[in-house]
Structure formats: C-alpha cells, structure tokens
C-alpha cells in the first residue's frame, strides 16, 4: 500500500488541476464506510456524489460485474447484447417511460435530451431556431450543451459562446417561465430537485402548471433526475410525488452504482418523432458490462425495498438535522427529502467548505452544494444508527 502523501504529490504532478481534492487517498470500502491507505475509517455521507447507492463491497453487485467481465465487456452498438435488452426493459419499467438510450454519463444524457427535443421540433416545422427554457441556479453538466442549460453564468462565461437559443427562468416561479415562452419554445428543462444549486425541491403547483403548459403548447418537458432520481427522494424517481410525467427523463449516478453509465428516456409518443438512425450515437454507451450493472442495481432496488429504507431513514435524518439546526445560530435553513438534504450556513459566521474539511478530518465525508450549503447524500442503505453517528461527527465539525 502506497504512502498517502507520496500518492497525492505524485498525482498533483500529472493530473490537470480541475479539482480541489480532499487530501485523502481511499483504498477500499465496506457498507457505508471507506478506508484510506493508512487504514483510517470514514463514515460516508457523500456516496461518490450520490452514486454508490447500494454501499461498498456489495458482494452480489461485484459478482455480477465479475461474471460479465469474464463473458463480454464491449462489442459496440452495431450489435445487441442480452444485458442491454434486460437493462432497457428494467429501467423503462422502473421509470414508467417507454424508450431508452444508454450513455456514459449524466452530461451525455443531457446532451441526448437536448438533441431529442430539437429534432422533435425540427421534424414538426423544418426550422432550426427553436428555443429551450432552462432554470436559473440549475446544474446539468460540464459539456457544452449541458453547460448551456446550466443556470449559473459563472460556470458558462469562460466558455462562450454556448449553444444558442437558450433562455433562463426562475425555478418555482411560473410567471418567469411564462415570460420566456414564445412560439419557438420547444422544451423546458429542469431538475425535479436542484442538487448542486442547494437542495431546492420543485414546488408541486409550479411543476403541475409547467406540465399543463407543455401539454397545451406541445412543448417537451425534460426532467433531470441524474442526482435526485433512483430512489434518493424516497420515490424511485422524484417526479412520481407530483403526479406528473416528463416527456424526456435523464438519469445517471446511482443507476450504475459506480460504473460509468447514464441514460435518457422518452415516452412512446416521441419515439418515432425524434432521433433516427444516424442522428445520435456512442461507442461505449450501453455496453454489456455497464448494462449488467444496471440490471443488478435495479434487481437489488426491488428485492431490498430500497425506497422504503430511504423514506424511513430519510425522515429520521430530517428530524435529527432539525435538532442540529436549533443548536447553531449560523444554520439558517434546512431543506430536502429522503436522503437528499442540506443545511445552509450564514457565510459571515461559518463556511460550509471549512466544516466539510473538518468533518473529513474527523472521519465523516460530507460535501458542499450551492453558495454555502452542506449536502447529505449518503448511500441509500444507511441505518438510523449511521445517522446518529453522523450527527455526532457533524456537531464536532460545526463546533
């Protein structure tokens, strides 16, 4: 096992410095705990940024991937594979959608969703000046298309020009969306729960009005559930709580629990009206290895009733964070649902980044979101006892 400082220093000499990493080198994990190369234990309330939903060292998951590696890893999308067919059926069933395209990441899923919406509009009138409305404070990814619909100017500005014809409205402000609507609007894109922006839930009335507006004007509703989907809200997908359905849905992160896989899904109404052969593609996307992972993840979600655990433990974590909030005058807000929650700090009194650094030193992994918010997105298999331990370590970091 390598020396931690040597590994960190060696990495910094050759990696492009686009991340301010914590000074920790992880070696292995078990359950909801990670262990560094010095053997130190950490309670993980980050889950690889909402990815490792089933926890570390999951034997059945590992065995499913090992078995597929021994059979076949990759053939390209010029051919079919059994894992691809099974994963497509399982994922569309879980989401209540009809058609799926597997990608390598969440950002790629957003790219596909944007292209699908524009092609749908192009097929209707042959025009190429259609507009997409995105939300301020949103985050959809770092590729040029995904960045173009990310509602944070500071992220976009160094890379102008973005893709064109994107407008921005305020999340949960229906009138601001209406003000951006034109006869050129082809899609509205938003996260059902804004994650990176600071854990903001879509207001039920707002989302229902948006769905009704889209139906009336034949505008496509794209919901990004890359972070908040796959059980994290307590429903398999967060939109289920609103009694509506998107036209296009993007997923990634926990859908593969660690392997690079995402997807965008369409309703049957759009299936023959958007992308056709030659319009879109991917070399690796949906290969036998990653779709074998998707199959095993969805099997365990169903067999282990993961969403039941999220609702139970998520409600418990909400109550415990409410208690913590009352103890510190610099905690100004607490938001979230299930196992996607956040506490907002007064930046003049306490910096969220400093608290997260101190927490990691104490053996708790938490990360920031938004302006000054601490985000709690643990593996979906955590217990109430894990929450109790987290709050003890969190109080140490806050103090």
pLDDT > 70 in the chain, percent: 99
- 264, 100 Cβ separation under 8 angstroms: yes
From the first residue on, what is the mean pLDDT of each consecutive set of 10 residues in the chain (399 residues)? 87 95 96 97 98 98 98 96 98 98 98 98 97 98 98 96 97 98 98 97 98 98 98 98 98 98 97 94 97 98 98 98 98 98 97 98 97 97 98 97
pTM of the model: 0.97
Instruction: Give pLDDT, residue 399.
Output: 93
The domains spanning 60-303 and 305-379 adopt the same CATH topology: no
Please state which CATH number belongs to domain 60-303: 3.40.640.10
Q: Are 339 and 19 in contact (CB under 8 A)?
A: no
Give pLDDT, residue 208.
Answer: 98
Correct CATH for 305-379 of 1.10.10.10, 3.30.479.20, 3.90.1150.10, 3.40.50.880: 3.90.1150.10
**Closest listed residue to residue 134, CA positions, set 175, 166, 182, 96:** 166
* Domain assignments of the chain as residue spans, ordered by start: 60-303, 305-379
What pLDDT shows up at residue 1? Answer: 59
What is the pLDDT, as a whole number, of residue 53? 98
Each residue of 140-166: pLDDT tens digit?
Answer: 999 999 999 999 999 999 999 999 999
Query: What is the reported pLDDT for 29?
Result: 98
Question: Per-residue pLDDT tens for 281-338?
Answer: 999 999 999 999 999 999 999 999 999 999 999 999 999 999 999 999 999 999 999 9
């Amino acid at each position: 096992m390598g020396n931690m400082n040597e590994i960190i220093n060696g990495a910094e000499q050759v990696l492009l410095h686009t991340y301010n990493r914590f000074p920790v080198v992880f070696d292995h994990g078990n359950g909801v705990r990670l262990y560094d190369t010095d053997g130190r234990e950490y309670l993980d309330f980050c889950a690889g940024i909402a990815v490792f939903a089933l926890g570390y060292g999951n034997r059945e998951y590992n065995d499913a991937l090992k078995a597929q590696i021994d059979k076949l890893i990759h053939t390209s999308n010029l051919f079919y594979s059994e894992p691809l067919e099974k994963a497509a059926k399982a994922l569309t069933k879980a989401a209540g959608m009809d058609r799926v395209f597997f990608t390598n990441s969440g950002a790629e899923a957003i790219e596909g969703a944007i292209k699908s919406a524009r092609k749908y509009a192009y097929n209707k009138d042959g025009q190429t000046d259609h507009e997409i409305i995105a939300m301020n404070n949103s985050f959809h990814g770092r590729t040029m298309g995904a960045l173009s619909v990310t509602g944070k100017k500071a992220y976009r500005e160094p890379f102008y020009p973005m893709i064109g014809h994107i407008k921005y409205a305020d999340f949960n402000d229906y009138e601001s969306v209406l003000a951006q609507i034109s006869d050129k609007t082809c899609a509205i894109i938003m996260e059902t729960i804004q994650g990176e922006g600071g854990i903001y839930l879509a207001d039920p009335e707002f989302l229902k009005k948006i769905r009704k507006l889209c139906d009336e004007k034949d505008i496509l509703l794209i919901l990004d559930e890359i972070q908040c989907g796959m059980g994290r809200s307590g429903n398999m997908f967060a939109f289920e709580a609103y009694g509506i359905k998107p036209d296009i849905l993007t997923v990634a992160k926990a859908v593969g629990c660690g392997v690079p896989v995402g997807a965008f899904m369409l309703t049957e109404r759009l299936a023959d009206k958007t992308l056709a052969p030659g319009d879109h593609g991917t070399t690796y996307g949906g290969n036998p290895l990653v779709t074998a992972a998707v199959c095993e993840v969805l099997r365990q979600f169903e067999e282990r009733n993961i969403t039941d655990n999220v609702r139970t433990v998520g409600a418990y974590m909400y109550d415990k964070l409410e208690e913590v909030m009352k103890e510190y005058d610099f905690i100004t807000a607490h938001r979230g649902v299930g196992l996607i929650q956040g506490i907002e700090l007064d930046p003049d009194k306490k910096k969220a980044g400093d608290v997260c650094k101190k927490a990691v030193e104490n053996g708790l992994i938490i990360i920031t979101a938004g302006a000054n918010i601490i985000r709690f997105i643990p593996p979906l298999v955590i217990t109430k006892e894990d929450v109790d331990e987290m709050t003890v370590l969190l109080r140490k970091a806050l103090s």
